[in-house]
Chains A and B, each alone.
Chain A
């Protein structure tokens, strides 16, 4: 079966972000960028399904400018078979991303689409669900276990009270939680091999999707800073402060 894995180029998770002085956005110039951690888990899961003989082909797709080819190559080095870059400079919302992915799904007809549950920049947690809705596929979000069997996929989901398992009829959309797997590192030979794997570039404008965003950002500000606290010497002082100064116990 064919698996489609959308991946996003995002700020590296270790970077402390800075808001631009004009409060228009977060400053991304000269910032280390990586494959979004949840997307990396999605790629890893697809590769494992291929290693188990469940999947036959893994296609990765990324939407953005030329720089996101770097993240596609990373996914290819991890074991994906070919890549598609949907070229655009536009700032897209999850809805436009989902609509573009819907077109890719129509072209590629994958039986499983695996996405990260959220990107660590916009923190939206929407794209997988929107794609499932637009394609009429069932969804297994926040997956910590995925088992494909006979035209169905059983997905164990992380929910607020614990875990829930649902059974979906393929084709289906799955979004990954952190505990689904531990992504591997790409080896140097695999990074070299990935350079020769096919990578198609398509223009977002050719897909016939209205790319106008419905949401405008009015301003981006740094969060309120907490005032530096104090160090207490011992437990007695801590309890005294909590009782008499903070009055929280």
Chain B
């Protein structure tokens, strides 16, 4: 029994999700092989080899995998994956994109976004925007699973796994990469940050998100947003926290001007400490907040920044 884990990276760096996937894989039991697919991923493979618990790193380095197109990645993982008992990927936009293709082509079910492992065939996952937790058992010989990285601790980086190259090139002709526009940020990544400060509709406009920046800099925090703030055009969509955005579980989550709709709570209610700053004391966010401050964010935020 062996587990194939798909490494999450952006062609520059190995992402922190990967070492959390290894922790999830260890709970299932078996040799763990980590697949690094991309273009010019030599350095990433070196970093991947250092993750404790990884028995082998498999590298597929080819232009066909540069943009993680689902068609190409799925065919690669399908070919390699047939020899494994489990195939794991992070429940990121990359994993969510190609893994169901792999499952369908293997004729097996996929278990999405697990938050715990009960045994090698039984997993725990949230449903209904996190308002219910389902424990499910799969009868398939190969378990195709995506993992909510925020629910697992990172494995340490003390390993030294051998690296093996595969020459397999899968290039679907029906899809092609056209362009990419990535949001540039000096701050930590939302899904990996220890502290997150998020703004909602109450921020009123994009300019006011600057009020969060000083605080974020002092706390080393990432900046997030509710869907209302994204839809209103205040900030780009990749900052969205929620059922339809990113799922985060930082040590500290500060929600500013966010009412706390079900869909937003789905993305952040596993944070260790939640702080809510809102002028509406009836806002549902206060029901999950460890510390609530009723007040006008335009007064509170500058004061908070200067007191840190």
Contact = CB atoms under 8 A, between A and B. Distances in A.
B128 A230 contact: no
B136 A218 contact: yes
How many chain A residues sit at the interface, stated as a range, is 35 or more
Contact of A161 (B10, B178, B269): B10
A236 B100 contact: no
A141 to B, nearest CB: 5
Interface string B186-206: 000001000100000000000
Interface string A131-147: 11110011111101000
B166 interface: no
A34 interface: no
A67 interface: no
A162 B183 contact: yes
Given A160-B246, A229-B292, A249 B132 contact: no
Interface residues of B, number: 91
B286 interface: yes
A11 B128 CA distance: 9
A161 B182 contact: yes
B74 interface: yes
A13 to B, nearest CB: 7
A223 B130 contact: yes
Interface string A53-85: 000000000000000000000000000000000
B172 interface: yes
A95 B110 CA distance: 8
Interface in B195-223: 195, 219
A9 to B, nearest CB: 15
Contact of A232 (B98, B269, B292): B292
Contact of A132 (B101, B111, B295): B101
A124 B110 contact: yes
Interface of B: 10, 67, 69-71, 74, 92-94, 96-105, 107-113, 122, 126-140, 172-183, 191, 195, 219, 227, 230-231, 236-238, 243-244, 246, 251-252, 262-263, 269, 272-275, 281, 286-295, 300, 303-304, 307-308
Interface of A: 11, 13-14, 16-17, 19, 26, 93-95, 98, 117-118, 120-134, 137-142, 144, 154, 157-169, 172, 177-179, 213-223, 226-232, 234-236, 238-239, 241-242, 246, 248-249
Given A125-B112, A217-B134, 10 more contacts: A133-B104, A138-B175, A142-B93, A162-B183, A163-B180, A165-B177, A167-B176, A226-B287, A235-B300, A249-B252
